[in-house]
Amino acid sequence: MPTSSTLTIPNTFVARTPAESAEMNANFAAVATLINTTGLGSNNIKDGTVTADLLEAGTIAGSVIPDAGITRGKLAALGQQSASVASFSTTSGSATDVTGLSVSLTTTGRAVFVGLQASSGSSESVITGTANTNILFVRGSTTFANFATPTVSSPGGYATHDAPAAGTYTYKVQVQSDGADTIAFTRVTLIAYEL
């Protein structure tokens, strides 16, 4: 709640009436009281006055922030993006987008976590493949991770970090087979967020 402080002087001088010294002193005393005792209020300082130059370097030190004082509510949202696929399979011998597993993420230049996980719900999430199938993580058109797949695996095992410059990127998941073996996703979620 902003505070306000108002300077009020007690005496207004009248023409052709000699000013009494006591009246003059009282007026100056009112100014002194405001400055020295009452204190200035928020209304006495123009908005935007306290610039960085007026703050001593390091003023906002750890000592003025209570321990655990900055709650998560003050942190900008993580901005995590996720997308899910209920079921997908292919035997394609070329890199093929997994339908639905694509997210767009705007970053500030920090490392980005990209990974798979089980989709929400109580039904089983699983990835099945063979020694001839792969999972690819792709940013835009750049493949930045390539995982060989075992016969059966949990989606949560597939994760990596990407390190792009600040920008907005599309992350997606592709799979590739030898043209004969099947790789299948069941209830898999792609998640991406800045670390």
Partner 1 sequence: MSTSSTLAVEYEFQPARTPRSAEVNANFAAIIELINTTGLGTNNFKLATFTSAKLTAGCAVDSKFQDLGITKAKQEALNIIYGSDQASYDSGTSASLADITGSSVTITTTGRPVVYGLLPINGSSQSEMTGVDTSNNFVRFCRDATVLGQAANYTGPISSLRIVDHPAAGTYTYNMKVTTTFTALVLTNFRPFAYEIF
- Closest separation in Å from C-beta 56 to partner 1: 4
Q: For residue 141, state whether it binds partner 1 (rule: CB under 8 A).
A: no
Residues 20-59 touching partner 1, rule: CB under 8 A, are 24, 27, 31, 34, 40, 43-51, 53-59
The whole-angstrom separation of Cα 85 and Cα 114 is 16
Q: For residue 133, state whether it binds partner 1 (rule: CB under 8 A).
A: no
- Closest separation in Å from C-beta 18 to partner 1: 8
Residues 145-184 touching partner 1, rule: CB under 8 A, are 145-151, 153-154, 156-163
CA 83 to chain centre: 19
Taking alpha carbons only, the member of 95, 153, 140, 151 closest to residue 114 is: 140
**Residues sharing a CB contact under 8 Å with residue 31, sequence separation 6 or more, in sequence order:** 7, 9
Residues 101-130 touching partner 1, rule: CB under 8 A, are 108, 110-111, 115
For partner 1, give the closer residue by CB, 162 or 192.
Answer: 162
Bridge-based pairing state of the strands 183-194 and 152-153: unpaired
Q: For residue 64, state whether it binds partner 1 (rule: CB under 8 A).
A: yes
